[in-house]
């Protein structure tokens, strides 16, 4: 490996490692968690902010439009949060992942393959560490005293797994599609499915099976079906079905089996019976601007002091609660921009994989949210969609160089 590439690997690793947060470490080792993920995170912020500022200044570049939209969204939500007399620290915990993911992707877009490889390496590290402890403690490593949950490991409670495992699988798929080692992807996918099965994370199991089917049968090649328009309609239908028809769905034979096997009666039933109705009621009282970013304690009070109810458990409802219709409009414009950026390269392998990956993940978010402090890797995946054409060019170039490396004899010079 060339020294310049090695230096960039090291730089990206220093920046990215403290931003990928395994929730369980906060309980297992609070000292290590504070040192690496609190102090280290602000060090990463400082480094990437300075590097990005000097890069923009030296090359006379402007901030890309998609990042401007995200900055606008974050500033708007900060104002709403402050106007409601809430803490800016709670706002920061929600919005730093999207802001710095956008900055890091734009900073590293010329070496985007190195950035992807570094993030994948960090994600794989935590996934394999988590697997070791899951095999040692299949019933959980510790009890969350706040909610009484036992399915907790290094990555945290089972519902937190998707914020690290799912982006890793999509990035692994992306890399393997451009000449990467297939064995590495299969090991990662097998490990991910194993962890999802042991933890009984039903949504993650379904998502990984969909990825597996799509990978085996190359379904993303059918762009007449697998395209942003179909994905958007699908997401809308999924959200409507879950929010307004979940109780009926759970009372079907399949729903009852699902509840019995995965023990979902409390979590899914709680969403349908009180979390979503209360959230919708509050949204209708202030539909335009929302209520800002509130602390976990304040959200629990809103949801009748239910220990696990710290957000809306639905991405769309959470956005409406935080920033109202204005939030959703800015967010929609952001994704319209993504559609325009990917339209001309819709046939590229990178675009097809990333967009399909995001579609499946957003379907999962009909019962969860990703605008939280563990969502950094997901936001990286979102911003990678904007540079999918550059990803394709970079990987194809590397693949071409690799294939042609051995075709020409090396010239050896004799020492004089």
Coil vs helix vs strand at 148: coil
For 215, the token pair is 């990978």
Closest C-alpha to 378, from 395, 364, 396: 364
- Say what the pLDDT of residue 258 is: 56
- When the pLDDT of each residue in the chain is averaged and rounded to a whole number, the result is 90
Band the pLDDT of 414: cuts 50, 70, 90. very low
Q: How many residues appear in the chain?
A: 416
Question: Beta-carbon neighbour count of residue 331 at 10 Å?
Answer: 18
For the chain, how long is the longest CA-to-CA vector? 86
Residue 249 near residue 255 (C-beta atoms within 8 A): yes
Query: pLDDT at residue 406 above 60?
Result: no
Note the pLDDT of residue 246: 65
pLDDT of residue 415: 45
**Is the pLDDT confidence value at 413 over 70?**
no
The C-alpha atoms of residue 183 and residue 178 are separated, in whole angstroms, by 14
The helix or strand, by DSSP H or E, that contains position 153, with its residue range, turns out to be: strand 152-153
> What pLDDT is attached to residue 404?
63
The runs of H, that is alpha helices, within 84-111 are 88-107
């Amino acid at each position: 490996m060339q020294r310049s590439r090695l230096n960039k690997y090291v730089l990206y690793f220093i920046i990215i490692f403290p931003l990928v947060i395994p929730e369980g470490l906060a309980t297992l080792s609070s000292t290590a968690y504070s040192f690496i993920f609190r102090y280290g995170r602000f060090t990463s912020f400082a480094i990437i902010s300075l590097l990005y500022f000097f890069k923009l200044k030296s090359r006379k570049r402007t901030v890309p439009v998609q990042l401007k939209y995200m900055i606008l969204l974050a500033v708007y939500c900060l104002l709403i949060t402050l106007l409601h007399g809430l803490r800016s620290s709670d706002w920061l915990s929600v919005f730093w992942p999207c802001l710095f993911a956008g900055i890091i992707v734009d900073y590293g877009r010329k070496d985007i393959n190195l950035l992807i490889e570094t993030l994948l390496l960090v994600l794989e590290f935590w996934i394999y560490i988590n697997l070791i402890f899951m095999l040692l403690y299949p019933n959980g490593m510790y009890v969350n005293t706040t909610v009484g949950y036992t399915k907790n490991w290094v990555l945290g409670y089972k519902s937190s797994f998707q914020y690290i495992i799912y982006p890793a699988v999509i990035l692994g798929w992306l890399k393997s599609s451009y000449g990467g080692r297939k064995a590495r992807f299969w090991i990662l996918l097998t490990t991910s499915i194993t962890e999802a099965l042991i933890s009984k994370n039903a949504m993650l199991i379904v998502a990984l099976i969909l990825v597996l089917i799509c990978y085996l049968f190359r379904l993303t090649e059918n762009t007449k079906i697998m395209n942003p328009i179909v994905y958007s309609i699908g997401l809308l239908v999924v959200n409507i079905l879950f929010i307004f028809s979940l109780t009926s769905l759970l009372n079907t034979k399949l729903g009852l089996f699902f509840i019995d096997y995965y023990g979902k009666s409390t979590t899914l039933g709680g969403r349908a019976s009180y979390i979503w109705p209360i959230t919708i009621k509050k949204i209708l009282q202030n539909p335009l601007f929302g209520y800002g970013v509130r602390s976990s304690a304040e959200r629990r009070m809103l949801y009748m002091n239910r220990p696990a109810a710290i957000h809306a458990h639905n991405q769309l409802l959470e956005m409406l609660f935080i920033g109202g219709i204005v939030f959703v409009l800015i967010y929609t414009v952001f994704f319209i921009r993504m559609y325009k950026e990917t339209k001309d390269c819709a046939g590229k392998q990178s675009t097809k994989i990333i967009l399909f990956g995001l579609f499946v993940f957003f379907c999962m978010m009909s019962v969860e949210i990703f605008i939280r402090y563990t969502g950094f890797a997901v936001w990286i995946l979102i911003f990678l969609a904007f540079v999918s054409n550059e990803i394709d060019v970079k990987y194809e170039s590397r693949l071409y160089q690799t294939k042609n490396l051995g075709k020409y004899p090396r010239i050896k010079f004799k020492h004089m």
